[in-house]
Structure 1
Amino acid sequence: MAGKDWLGSRRAEVAADRILDAAGELFAGQHVSTVGMNDIARAAGCSRATLYRYFENREVLHTAYVHREAYRLHEQMTELVNGIPDPRERLLAGLSASMKLVRESPALSSWFATTDSPIGAEMAEQSEVIQALTSGFLLSLRPDDPDVVHRRARWLVRVLTSLLIFPGRDADDERAMLEEFVVPMVCPNDSAVDGSKQNSERSFG
C-alpha cells in the first residue's frame, strides 16, 4: 500500500511539473498577466478539470511556478559563487548572477516587464520561499541575528526587483551601484561593525 501511495504522489508531482513547464513556455512568449488557465490547459494537453485539480486558481499556479523557479535559480546561483571566499565579494557576485539568470530566462524576465504591471515584484515581496532563500544566502555569508537577517533579506529582494524592473545602464553600472550602496548595508565589514558597536556603547555608557 505504501508503494502505491508513493507512486500516486510521484505521478501527481510529474503532472504538476508538466503543467508548470507548459505555463513557463507561455510566459516566455507573452506577459504573465495575459496567460489564462485555458491557455495553460491547452498547452499542457489536459482538460480544465485536470488543471484545476492541481492548481485551484491562477494565483496558486503563479505561486507554484515562482517557487519552483526560485529554488532552481538559487541552486544555480549558489553553484556559481561557492568558490568565492570573501563574503562581500560572494554577495556581490550572487546578486549580479541572480539578476543575470532572471534576465536570461524569457519565462522569468516577463514577470518584470514594464509594458504591463510587473507582477514579479509583488510575487517576490509576498513569497515566503524567496524571503527564506535570501535569508539563507545572507546567513551563509556571516552569522547574524535572525531578525536582522530577515529585514535585510526583505530589503534586498526589493532592491533586486527594482533593478529588474528599472535596470542600470549596463552590467558594470549595476555592479557599481550594488558594490557602493548594497554590499556595505547587507554585509558590513568587521571594522564598520566594531565601530558601530563602539559608538553605541559610548552613547549609552
Structure 2
Amino acid sequence: MSDSRLLRDLLTPPEDSGPQVDRILDAALELYGTFGLRRTTIDDVARASGLGRATIYRRFPSKNDLVTGVLLREARRFFAELDEAVAACSTLEDRLVEGFATTLRISREQRLVHRLLVLEPELLLPHATGQAGPLLAAARGYLARRLRAAQRQGDAGDFDAEVVAEILIRLTHSLLLTPAGHIPLDDEGARDFARRYLTPMLR
C-alpha cells in the first residue's frame, strides 16, 4: 500500500460500513487482543459476532483484509480523538502541545497494540521498526496537512511543514518505542516539554 493511499484510508471513512461491519470488527478486535492474530480464525470471529462465515467473507474476503480493517478502524479512532482534543485550542502552538500529550496518552492506552507486543512481538515489531516507513509517512502527511493549513491562515511561521512534521512524528515514535528516559511522558510533563522544546519550530 502506498503512503498516499494509506493516508487516504486512514482519514476517509470506509464506504462499506454500518452495524454489521462494526459487529465483525468489534468481535475481531476482542479476539485479537485476547488470543493474537495467528490463533484467531474467521470461524472464531463468526461465532463471536453471531454472524455467518459467508457474511464475514462478503465484507472481508480474506483474513488479512479483516486484520487490516481492524487496524484501520483503530487508527481512525486515534485520529478522531486527536482532532477532538486539539479542536478547542486557539493557537497552533497550543494544538501542538495538546496534540503531543494526547498522542502519547492514547498510545499508552492502546490495548490491542500492547497485547500484540506481548502475544506476537515477532509480527508487530517489524512493522513498528524497520518496516514502519509507510506508517510514519502517513502520520507525517496527516500532520503536515494541518501545519500547511495553519500557514495559509497566517497562524504559523515560514517553515517546511514536511520537515517539522517528520521531526515531530519521529520523536513521538521513538518515545513510544522506548519510553524510558529523561523526557516526561505523563500529560503535564509532555505538555511542558512540548511548549519549551517543540513549539519554537513553529516560529
Q: Percent identity?
A: 26
The alignment status of 1:126 with 2:134, answered yes or no, reads yes
Give the match for residue 183 of structure 1: 198
Cα 1:182–1:34 shift into 2, 3 Å? farther
| Cα separation, 2, equivalents of 1:182 and 1:27 | 38
Is this contact kept in 1: 2:82–2:103, CA < 8 A?
A: yes
For 1:136, the aligned partner's letter is R
For the aligned residues, what is the CA RMSD?
A: 3.9
Structure 2: unaligned runs, 5 residues or longer: 1-14
Instruction: Give the superposition deviation at 1:116.
Output: 0.9
The alignment status of 1:55 with 2:64, answered yes or no, reads no
Cα 1:62–1:134 shift into 2, 3 Å? farther
Q: Which of 64, 68, 71 lines up with 1:66 in the alignment?
A: 71
Is this contact kept in 2: 1:102–1:109, CA < 8 A?
A: no
- Which has the larger Rg? 1
Structure possessing the higher relative contact order (Cα contacts under 8 Å, 6 or more residues apart): 2
Greater fraction helix:
1
Instruction: Give the superposition deviation at 1:22.
Output: 0.9
Structure 1: unaligned runs, 5 residues or longer: 1-9, 191-205
For 2:201, the aligned partner's letter is P
Q: Which of 59, 80, 91 lines up with 1:75 in the alignment?
A: 80
Q: Which of 139, 146, 155 lines up with 2:148 in the alignment?
A: 139
TM-score, normalising length: structure 2: 0.63
> What secondary structure does 1:188 align onto?
helix
Cα 1:178–1:113 shift into 2, 3 Å? farther
| Cα separation, 2, equivalents of 1:150 and 1:91 | 15
